[in-house]
Amino acid sequence: MKLTTKGRYAVMAMADLALFKDNGPINLTDISLRQNISLAYLEQIFIKLKKNNLVKSVRGAKGGYILDLPPEEIKISSIIAAVDEKIKTLNCKKESKKGCNNKSTKCITHNLWDQLDQHINNFF
């Protein structure tokens, strides 16, 4: 399974927002310092999280970000999808007419990895 830094950082940032949700809007600098994530990188991530209605921005001196839903209603898969990530265990594309590893047939373990992929995404 491969999950990029962007996906991991998005989940970390959302967990930080959930943890400190009772403190009001949280600015990205605070998340950056607590989670040791680049502020510029967080800004890119939060643009996507906001666009996908996972967070709201609050303007003003005490502004920042808040969760758009209660934490228990936010799925990890939604966070990962919001930042354009996919969790994959397969090297091949399901919709491809070619099989695995650019061969004409699927590899012997294709169905195993496909089922694991479904299980992981259902878990998230």
CA 101 to chain centre: 27
- 98 and 37 together in one domain: no
- 51 and 27 together in one domain: yes
* Strand-pair category, 64-67 with 55-58: antiparallel
Give the span between the Cα atoms of 108 and 44, in whole angstroms. 40
Q: List pLDDT tens digits, range 62-114.
A: 899 999 999 999 998 899 889 976 666 666 665 555 666 666 777 777 777 77
- 76 and 93 together in one domain: no
**What's the pLDDT at 67?**
95
- 50 and 107 together in one domain: no
Residue 121, both tokens: 């995404």
- 18 and 59 together in one domain: yes
Number of domains in the chain: 2
**What's the pLDDT at 56?**
95
Write down the pTM of the prediction.
Answer: 0.76
Domain range holding 104? 89-124
CATH code for position 9: 1.10.10.10
- 15 and 52 together in one domain: yes
Answer whether 113's CB lies under 8 Å from 85's CB: no
